[in-house]
Structure 1
């Protein structure tokens, strides 16, 4: 392919809204173009990479007996109503009416449609197990689109769903998916960090996320370098060591002027955050939820969402807090009313703490939750952070950031029960089909590869997904040798891009860096006079000279692995 016949563009300047390397280089290299916030068009250079990633994933899905299908992105509200998710999911699910005034949705995921398809076909245990997958555009009305392809509204996803007659069979297939995902990410040069994760709107009891460890990640990962425990911070558990001072000290009110924050309170009373019990307030459908946790920890909203099975949670307004008998900045559940009180596990057996006295400028000391409170529940609602103790080995946990590459879930019967996807057992009994689901965002994976593999000048594409395999940069006026070399490489089965523009060498080399093609062969007058070309792998800093007659053999050797 000659560049003069290709549809492309490159940018010299970094777009003002691009901060992550993947966003910068995918824009500057002409891979993508924003059409609206979080909605992107793929130019040919980006489309070629996207399709190669898709084919790589398809190979792995086929290797574990996946069967490809294609389902609609426009679906009926009634279908989503069967699973309960039409009302359970918030504004990120785009709802609309068609011309016949029917309620419709743009699917953000395909559990309902896939379950509907399977219940149409399956009637007997003899038809199970199997796995179906597709590559499909999804739409999520994301409130915080960011990072180019990292967090978008419209996206291409590979989603797979497996169907089983037993938990044991699901467990076996889950392991196959787990290994297939490892293979996919390793083939694009990423060694994934695999963490336990929240099942969220997908449901089910077991889920894992495959993450790229990167400082630009939007997720926080909690890791134990000693025993290998790994989890998304949203759901990570950790070992609590409750503060225990004087068990017999009586509750006492003390003046704490201007100490409305934990930091100010600790300084004023000369205590540590772990010795305090702070309140964090949420509005749950108009009802006040009071979370009580140690002052040195934060509430995990995901854990709280899951505990309450809440569709939406909002920070509570001061008026609602005061209505329930508490004073913001000096609050505690002592004497409060009309509120759901949830106490973190860390305080279950703690005593001799500092907490609010529900009076401005005053706190209680020697607070003992078991003695001084009633009508509360104990739960794991605190968010793990670096330095917390590992729940498995007790050693300090570490924290890093990551980008989610893909996820796998053991759905169980969440969808099959509510939607009537059943099969007849050998003895004629009707049972719900047991399900698993497995997703990879194809565009996000493309961006993650750039995050993982780039230098100051552009992406360094892995050989498996590069837009072209060889770029010939002709910096002479004569195209004869470039044409001959292109034909020989193409005939040998390689994808070749020839930069035949009448441009300065510097411009051509800068664009070559932005396109990240694994191998660049430059034709210059001086080198050709000696029968040589410039040979430069994109991942290497230096170029070498190679005899023209050796180029084809050397390219074959370069791509042998």
Structure 2
């Protein structure tokens, strides 16, 4: 395409609303434009990127044996009420009524709809297994849309749904989809990890997130570089922490110390001139029946609410208390003589602590030289904390790494969660009606665009991987007023386009500096420059966007060079 005939409205400055690089660069490079909060229009260059992402996804879904369909965005409320998610999903679900006052929603996912489809059309075990997918617009009424395409209210997603007759069939499809997702991300040259994750509102018995490494990502992933262990922060397991204190077992008697105005650990550490590892924290959690539980952990660790909930098998929240509740002295709570508690549970991090400091259950007072078993007991131990970068891998003992990332995909083993609620099943070999064993598999098309930019950019702009770049080649002539250079550019443009090379020919009558800046901003992998070197020695400069390296070739060798570049850099 010739630049003068296209529509790529670039911006010189970072937009005010952009908080992260990908948001700024999608706007500055003319890929998208904001229409309303969390709603964006895709411009021609952005559409080209989306189409290439979708093509890679389609190829890998088809390779994995999935079959493409297309489901409606608008879904009847009765399906969501049948599954129970009409009320569970909350205000993020876009709800609307038709002229007959019937309730509908704009689908954030399609589990209910696809299960209803299977209910009507999949009847026998002979029809199984089946894996159906679509690439479709989704809607989610985010409370605070931000980060551009990463948290938008309207987005494009590939979602797939598998139907099997048994768990073995689900395991096989799940593994195929895991492989397919890995291949999708690898074909875009991204560094990523597939991690164990919580099933959240989708539900099911297990799931994996696909997280792309990114410094400004909203997710935190924990992984071991020495083996294949990886999990998100909520699910991460690790070996019980080692004791950070030195010396022999504690033998000093516990005693009260005055600690005025130290109702948080930072103030206490500063007041006593000690380390957080010498302090035992007491966290109070309450359940729906208003029972209160105490969770103890070393002062340098943070309580993982999800782990506490799984351990007790009930929904918990941080105890908030009230003006009429005088059972606890907030800010000075400790396990010694602690009353009005349903249970006391110790994180593994406290097992080897000794002569530690903890709250005395009275205002402005702590206890020092406290020891487990002698001064108090716990009902049970467990892993209730988030990992630190000093922790060791639960599988191999290697040192864990903790990094930020962006979730681009999530796969779930749903089991019978939806099929049982919606009476969807099949006739098995024994002639009995049985519920489908289901899985679902989502990957964000528009999220991938932002995640790629977030990982692959520099101070000048985007650095597209060749597989999804809007164009492979950016052809620039330094002055269109020179007829020899202009003719050479036109001839090369014709040769490349006829050979099927995607070229953006910058034929604008503007300064070379602006052309170069826009080229860097757009992030096209190869830049061909016809300038003074061409007039002097018929050489065309080739610059790689990825590393700024340059080489020079005569026009006759350019096409072969580009074909070789494509074969080496675009995976199939």
Cα distance change on mapping 1:259 and 1:170 into 2, 3 Å:
same
Q: 1:523 aligns with which of 509, 523, 530?
A: 530
- Mapped pair 1:486 → 2:493: yes
Cα distance change on mapping 1:122 and 1:495 into 2, 3 Å:
same
Q: 1:299 aligns with which of 266, 279, 303?
A: 303
Deviations 1:303-333 (A, max 9, x none): 356667888x76554526x616111111247
Question: Which deviates the most, 464-473 or 93-102?
Answer: 93-102
Secondary structure class of the residue paired with 2:201:
helix
CA contact (8 A) 2:359 2:367 kept: yes
Shift in Å, 1:212:
1.7
Q: How many residues align?
A: 558
Cα distance change on mapping 1:43 and 1:370 into 2, 3 Å:
farther
- Mapped pair 1:445 → 2:452: no
Cα distance change on mapping 1:345 and 1:96 into 2, 3 Å:
farther
What does 1:32-51 align with in structure 2 at a 5 Å threshold?
32-51=32-51
Equivalence for 1:560 = 567
Cα distance change on mapping 1:379 and 1:95 into 2, 3 Å:
farther
Equivalence for 2:364 = 361
The 1-side partners of 2:18 and 2:47 are apart by 20
Cα distance change on mapping 1:118 and 1:266 into 2, 3 Å:
same
Equivalence for 2:384 = 381
Shift in Å, 1:271:
6.4
Shift in Å, 1:228:
3.7
Question: Which deviates the most, 137-146 or 270-279?
Answer: 270-279
Cα distance change on mapping 1:130 and 1:44 into 2, 3 Å:
same
Secondary structure class of the residue paired with 2:421:
helix
Cα distance change on mapping 1:71 and 1:279 into 2, 3 Å:
farther
Cα distance change on mapping 1:12 and 1:186 into 2, 3 Å:
same
Equivalence for 1:325 = 327
Secondary structure class of the residue paired with 1:559:
helix
Cα distance change on mapping 1:362 and 1:539 into 2, 3 Å:
closer
CA contact (8 A) 1:476 1:523 kept: no
Shift in Å, 1:387:
1.2
Cα distance change on mapping 1:354 and 1:540 into 2, 3 Å:
closer
Equivalence for 1:80 = 80
CA contact (8 A) 2:539 2:552 kept: yes
The 1-side partners of 2:441 and 2:374 are apart by 44
The 1-side partners of 2:313 and 2:140 are apart by 21
Shift in Å, 1:187:
0.8
The 2-side partners of 1:349 and 1:123 are apart by 59
The 2-side partners of 1:309 and 1:17 are apart by 42
Equivalence for 1:547 = 554
Cα distance change on mapping 1:95 and 1:289 into 2, 3 Å:
farther
Deviations 1:242-289 (A, max 9, x none): 979979998765543333222444566676545544233557668465
Secondary structure class of the residue paired with 2:442:
strand
Give 5+ residue unaligned stretches, structure 1: none
Deviations 1:19-72 (A, max 9, x none): 432222211110111222322211111111011000111000001111011112
The 1-side partners of 2:141 and 2:301 are apart by 31
What does 1:45-84 align with in structure 2 at a 5 Å threshold?
45-84=45-84
The 1-side partners of 2:351 and 2:436 are apart by 40
The 1-side partners of 2:82 and 2:313 are apart by 18
Question: Which deviates the most, 406-415 or 83-92?
Answer: 83-92
Shift in Å, 1:388:
2.3
The 2-side partners of 1:347 and 1:99 are apart by 62
The 2-side partners of 1:191 and 1:481 are apart by 39
- Mapped pair 1:89 → 2:89: yes
Secondary structure class of the residue paired with 2:148:
coil
Question: Which deviates the most, 54-63 or 520-529?
Answer: 520-529
- Mapped pair 1:412 → 2:415: yes
The 2-side partners of 1:497 and 1:241 are apart by 56
The 1-side partners of 2:87 and 2:254 are apart by 46
Secondary structure class of the residue paired with 1:55:
helix
Cα distance change on mapping 1:533 and 1:275 into 2, 3 Å:
closer
The 2-side partners of 1:6 and 1:482 are apart by 17
Shift in Å, 1:341:
6.5
The 1-side partners of 2:564 and 2:239 are apart by 53
Shift in Å, 1:340:
7.7
Cα distance change on mapping 1:123 and 1:15 into 2, 3 Å:
same
The 2-side partners of 1:560 and 1:174 are apart by 31
Question: Which deviates the most, 123-132 or 211-220?
Answer: 211-220
Give 5+ residue unaligned stretches, structure 2: none
CA contact (8 A) 2:95 2:106 kept: yes
Cα distance change on mapping 1:519 and 1:217 into 2, 3 Å:
same
Equivalence for 2:105 = 105
The 1-side partners of 2:410 and 2:447 are apart by 13
Deviations 1:402-460 (A, max 9, x none): 12221222221111122212111111122211111211111111112122222321212
- Mapped pair 1:513 → 2:515: no
CA contact (8 A) 1:222 1:400 kept: yes
Cα distance change on mapping 1:540 and 1:400 into 2, 3 Å:
closer
Root mean square deviation of aligned Cα: 3.1
Shift in Å, 1:162:
1.4
Equivalence for 1:134 = 134
Deviations 1:369-398 (A, max 9, x none): 798578x77654322221123323344423
